[in-house]
Each structure stands twice: as C-alpha cells, then as structure tokens.
Amino acid sequence: MRKKLAAGNWKMNLTPAEAKDFAAKLAPKTEGGSEVVFCVPFVSISEVVKAVEGTSVAVGAQNMYFEEKGAFTGEVSAAMLVGAGAKYVILGHSERRQYFGETDETVNKKLKKALEFNLTPIVCVGESLKEREDGITIELVRMQLKRAYLEISTQDAIKTVIAYEPVWAIGTGKTATSEQAEQVCAAIRALLVEMYDNDTAEKIRILYGGSVTGANAAELFAQKNIDGGLVGGASLKEEFEAIAKA
C-alpha cells in the first residue's frame, strides 16, 4: 500500500520567525494520518526543522539547482538543503516554469542531483487551460514526465513522488473534478508501467495539486491513483489539518 502524502507548498510566504511559529502550532495537529511535509522558503528551512522536531512531519524545499557549488549567485544546492535539514524538494512547479524559465530538461538535471543527495523529489507536471481545451493534456503530461525521468533508473524512480497540477487550478479556486484528476493520474501510472514495469508504477506516489481544500480533499484522495496532495494556499491555514487527515 502506498502511504498517503500531504505536502504543503508555502510558496513565498512567512518570515523565518513566522514560519517557525506556524509550523510549531500546525505540526502536532497533522499527526496520525498521512505522511506530512512542509515545503518552505530556503531561509525558513532550519527554523521549521526545529519547530517540527519530535513530530513525524518532514521539511522540504521548493526548488534547488543542479550544480553542487560554484559561481551561481542566488541559487541553492542539494547539499545546502540537506545541511539545513530538508528531506524533500519540489521540482518543476508550474510557477517555476512560468516565471523563471524552468524546463523539462532542467527538471531532469535537478532530479538526478536530488536523488544523488537522498532528497525525495516531488516532480510537478500539468497543463494550462488552453492545453486542456485543446485536448492535449495526456500527451503533454506524458512528454513532461518522459523528459523529466530521462536516464532515471528503476531503483531511483521508486524514490520519487509525482504531482499532477493543472495550471488552471492553481490559486484560482477552480479544482479539477475528482474524475478529471483521476483520469490524468491514472494515465501517469500507465506511463510509468511503460517506462519501467507494473511493480515500480504501483510503488510511486502520485499527488494532485490545484486548489485542494478541506472540503474536497477526501473525495480527491479516495481516487485509486491519487495518493495525496501538493497543497498551496490551504497549507497556510488551519484547514491543512483536515486535508492531512483526509
């Protein structure tokens, strides 16, 4: 059985002091259900790690660079994340792709480096509203995954998490129906069977992200191929407790 995962993406919110305080209050309330991870801004990782000490909550980053060190002003390496206490890292989020030029090729490089440093990558894929209306959602997501997982072995693939995030549902209040989300997540698992094998595909967790709330979480996570959520706005509210327990 794949253990459900509730991953909160705090995006560019909260100072380190605010993040520490919020994490200390929220972490104990999420215990006893799914696996939980708070993905926080770089500057807050160490403080949030301290705040969740003694709980089962893990801490993750929202991005990283694929080089280990060097003249890359403003970037953060996998080793730095590990040193700060991070266990997870989000790769290829649609906002990184939209605003900062992230591509499937850079996601692939980052994925390899994250695995090398024993970070658990949460690899994001998803379509825009126009791409959905054009009927190319499945083809697009398949292409994104094939490129992101290029030269990733079976042994490494099972260490990863995939997040399906329809861009049109992120921060808009619109949510894919449980049927729409399940259709794409099922297609992702079918592709993993093609790329690897059935056993490997069954071990990899697939999350849904896109305006997940306490009200819709249970229905979404009850779907056969949805193993939890990558949660944006609601992860900064008390309702994340309900999402984690769903």
Question: Catalytic annotation on 31?
Answer: no
77-107 residue pLDDT tens = 999 999 999 999 999 999 999 999 999 999 9
Which tokens hold the place of 6? 């509730």
Return the domain boundaries, the chain.
5-245
Helix axes 178-195, 137-148, angle to 10 degrees: 40
Answer whether residue 209 shows pLDDT above 90. yes
> pLDDT digit string (tens) for 49-85?
999 999 999 999 999 999 999 999 999 999 999 999 9
Q: CA-to-CA distance for 75 and 59, rounded, in angstroms?
A: 19
pLDDT at 172: 79
Q: Taking all residues of the chain, what is their mean pLDDT, rounded to a whole number?
A: 96
Q: What is the pLDDT of residue 151?
A: 98
Q: 5-245 sits in which CATH class? A: alpha beta
Nearest to 90 by CA among 23, 162, 171: 162
- Split at pLDDT 50, 70, 90, the class of 200 is very high
Tally helices (H) and strands (E) across the chain. Answer: 12, 8
**Active-site hit among 35, 93, 127, 182:** 93
Alpha-carbon distances, residue 151 vs 105, 112, 117 (angstroms): 12, 9, 17
List the Cα angle 141/146/147 in 5-degree steps. 100
Residue 159 has pLDDT above 80, yes or no: yes
The one catalytic residue in 35, 47, 95, 165 is 165
Q: 217-226, pLDDT tens digit by residue?
A: 999 999 999 9
Locate all alpha helices (DSSP H) within 12-66, ordered by sequence: 16-26, 45-51
Out of 40-49, 119-128, 167-176, 205-214, which region has the weakest mean confidence (pLDDT)? 167-176
| Distance between CA atoms of residues 227 and 65, nearest Å | 27
At residue 186, the pLDDT reads: 98
Q: How many residues does the chain have?
A: 246
